[in-house]
């Protein structure tokens, strides 16, 4: 179940949701320094100690207020400059993605003589294995994907609960040519299933081409990475019903603990349009990045979810929150 790409698809009568993405890309169209810096050679591309700091896990909140509070915490950070290296993934590397998504919202209808409200809850969690099969000097060219754990649920007052799972689904994704090709190794592809898989792979395969021209280099707190909406859309794969707006990453500093981990504050606004329904989400939070090779370790984002005026009909409104947690584990090629 992918929550963000298709969150507007079933809103209206059933407020149904699609499967969630697992990634916010680290990359963009330009680096914008606030002061003069000097490029240096990158640190070693070797992996940091397993004790590197990570963002805390978001527990499923019971209200909009606790959703924001749960996702707002971040690692203790020192305002230190960081050397970001650049080391592409190699053949045989395995990346394990763990994703968790939570939506809590309320739809309110106001009619002559009365009205009512309905609570909406959606939760999804997955563990996804991604094995690098082929690379070239531009990055990853082929991967194998397997959904090792997958569970999703959707609850709407007055309607039966819905459950979904991608457990056991396997894919091969090839990045040759202008459009990636997704093929299923566990059955035929359903409509838009390829788009959802590409969305899940964004932090593993999508962001590297964006940051490659700007690394390695030394950056200091306040250094800003602007995310061009077209580049972000390419990193996530073609999403006809999702429009990314101007986004950015700002370096906060380095996480306290063993290993060099850079902490970025992240802003990612987006709009979802489908079947005449328009929703907006303003995601904010942190992205932690392994400094030696600029690979993402964890993403923790949350923000308000609202329906644009009139999107759900006269007298109807939707307000809620989305909380997103993603972690990455890297296993060296054997």
How many folded domains does the chain comprise? 1
Q: What are phi and psi of 194, to 5 degrees?
A: -65, -40
Instruction: Report yes or no on 8 lying in a domain.
Output: no
Instruction: Report yes or no on 250 lying in a domain.
Output: yes
Cis amide bond preceding 216, omega within 30? yes
> Which range (56-70, 121-135, 170-184, 195-209) has the least confidence?
56-70
Instruction: Report yes or no on 14 lying in a domain.
Output: no
**219-to-149, 211, 214, 291 alpha-carbon distances in Å:** 37, 14, 11, 11
Please tell me the distance from the alpha carbon of residue 171 to that of residue 304, in angstroms, as a whole number.
33
pLDDT number for residue 167: 96
pLDDT digits (tens, 9 = 90+) for 74-132: 678 899 999 999 888 999 999 999 999 999 999 887 776 667 888 999 999 999 999 99
What is the span of the domain harbouring residue 162?
30-331
Residue 22 has pLDDT above 80, yes or no: no
Q: What is the mean pLDDT of residues 257-275?
A: 86
Instruction: Report yes or no on 22 lying in a domain.
Output: no
Please tell me the distance from the alpha carbon of residue 23 to that of residue 198, in angstroms, as a whole number.
10
E strand map for the chain: 30-32, 77-78, 82-84, 94-111, 114-136, 139-156, 162-164, 170-174, 181-184, 217-219, 224-227, 242-244, 247-255, 261-274, 277-290, 295-307, 316-331
3-state secondary structure 132-153: EEEEECCEEEEEEEEEEEEEEE
Instruction: Report yes or no on 9 lying in a domain.
Output: no
Instruction: Report yes or no on 20 lying in a domain.
Output: no
Instruction: Report yes or no on 25 lying in a domain.
Output: no
Whichever domain contains 183, its CATH number is 2.30.230
Instruction: Report yes or no on 3 lying in a domain.
Output: no
Residue 45 has pLDDT above 90, yes or no: no
> Shortest CA distance to 114 belongs to which of 282, 298, 263, 315?
315
Q: Output the pTM of the full model.
A: 0.76
> Which range (40-54, 77-91, 157-171) has the least confidence?
40-54
In the chain, DSSP finds a helix count (H) and a strand count (E) of: 4, 17
Residue 144 has pLDDT above 50, yes or no: yes
pLDDT grade for 73, boundaries at 50, 70 and 90: low
pLDDT digits (tens, 9 = 90+) for 270-310: 888 877 778 899 999 999 999 999 999 999 999 999 887 66
Residue 7 has pLDDT above 60, yes or no: no
């Amino acid at each position: 179940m992918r929550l963000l790409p298709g969150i507007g698809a079933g809103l209206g009568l059933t407020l149904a949701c699609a499967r969630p993405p697992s990634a916010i890309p680290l990359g963009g169209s330009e680096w914008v320094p606030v002061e003069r810096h000097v490029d240096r050679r990158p640190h070693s591309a070797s992996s940091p100690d397993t004790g590197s700091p990570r963002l805390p896990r978001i527990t499923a909140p019971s209200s909009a207020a606790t959703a924001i509070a749960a996702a707002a915490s971040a690692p203790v950070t020192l305002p230190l400059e960081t050397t970001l290296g650049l080391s592409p993934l190699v053949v045989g590397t395995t990346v394990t993605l763990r994703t968790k998504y939570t939506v809590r919202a309320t739809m309110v209808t106001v009619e002559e003589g009365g009205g009512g409200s309905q609570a909406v809850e959606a939760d999804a969690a997955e563990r996804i294995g991604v094995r690098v099969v082929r690379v070239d000097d531009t990055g990853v060219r082929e991967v194998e994907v397997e959904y090792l754990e997958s569970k999703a649920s959707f609850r709407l007052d007055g309607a039966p609960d819905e459950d979904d799972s991608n457990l056991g689904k396997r894919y091969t994704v090839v990045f040759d040519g202008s459009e990636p090709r997704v093929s299923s190794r566990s059955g035929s592809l359903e409509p838009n299933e390829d788009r959802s898989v590409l969305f899940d792979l964004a932090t593993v395969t999508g962001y590297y081409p964006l940051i490659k021209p700007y690394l390695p280099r030394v950056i200091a707190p306040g250094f800003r990475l602007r995310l061009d909406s077209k580049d972000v859309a390419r990193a996530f794969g073609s999403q006809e019903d999702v429009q990314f707006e101007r986004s950015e990453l700002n370096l906060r500093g380095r996480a306290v603990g063993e290993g060099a981990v850079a902490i970025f504050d992240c802003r990612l606004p987006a709009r979802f349009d489908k079947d005449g329904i328009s929703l907006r989400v303003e995601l904010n939070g942190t992205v932690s990045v392994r400094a030696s090779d600029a690979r993402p370790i964890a993403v923790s984002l949350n923000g308000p979810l609202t329906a644009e005026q009139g999107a759900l009909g006269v007298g109807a409104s939707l307000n809620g929150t989305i909380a997103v947690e993603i972690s990455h584990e890297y296993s060296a090629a054997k």
